[in-house]
Amino acid sequence: MRRRCFVLLNFALVGLFACARPLSPATPQEKAIAPGEVGSSLPEFSVKDLRGKDISAADLRGKVVLIDFWATWCQPCKKEMPGYQKLLDKYAARGFAVIGFKFDTMMDTEDPLSFARKIGVRYPLAVASDDLKRKFGGIEGLPTTMLFDRQGVLRKKVIGFEYTDVFDADLKSLLKSSNPDQ
C-alpha cells in the first residue's frame, strides 16, 4: 500500500510539473542575424581611403550605401565597378554612396588608384583589414556587393558579378521607399 501511494504521488508530481506553466509569459526571442546576412546592420568602421580621406560608417548614416569588395586582378570587379560609378553619378544627390574595399592580404596586379582611374572609378576606395572583413560577415568571393538602406540594414548581397541594371532597380526602390521627401 505504501509503495502504491509512493508511485501515485510520483505520477502526480510528474504530471503537475509537466503541465505547469511559467508565472510570467515567455517573451519571444529575436532571431539573431549574423553579420553579412540580409537583414543585418552596416557595421561600425573607420578607415582612410586610398587617397588619405577618412571614411566611417557614421558618414554614411541616412544614405543608401553600396559596399563593394574587389581586387585589381578580378575581371568581374573590373567589369562592374564602372557601373557602380554611373549609379553614384545618377543617385548621389538623392543620398546614395558607394565605397569599394580591397583586401589587404591579396597582391595587386597594378596600383589600385591607377586601376581605378583607368576604369573611370572616382568613388572612395579603401583597404579592408581581416577585422573589417569579419565585421561584414566574412567575404566568400570577389566581387561581393552589399546594398544597405538608409537605416543601415543590409537589403541585398551578391557574391559574383551582377549587372548594374539589377542594382539600379533596387536603388530606385530603396531611394523612393526610404526617402521621406519622395
| CATH number of this structure's domain 63-177, picked from the four choices 3.40.30.10, 3.30.365.10, 3.40.1280.10, 3.40.50.720 | 3.40.30.10
**Claim: this prediction has a pTM higher than 0.85:** no
What is the reported pLDDT for 178?
Answer: 56
- pLDDT beyond 50 at 21: no
Residue-wise pLDDT for 46-79, tens only, equals 999 999 999 999 999 999 999 999 999 999 999 9
| Res. 126: pLDDT tops 90 | yes
Which residues touch 11 (CB under 8 Å, ≥6 apart)?
Answer: none
pLDDT at 18: 37
Residue 69: CB atoms within 10 A of its CB come to 24
Q: What is the mean pLDDT of residues 128-157?
A: 96
132 pLDDT above the threshold of 50: yes
Kindly state the average pLDDT of the residues 127-151.
95
Question: Are 65 and 142 contacting, i.e. CB atoms less than 8 angstroms apart?
Answer: no
101 against 10, higher pLDDT:
101
Enumerate the domain spans of the chain: 63-177
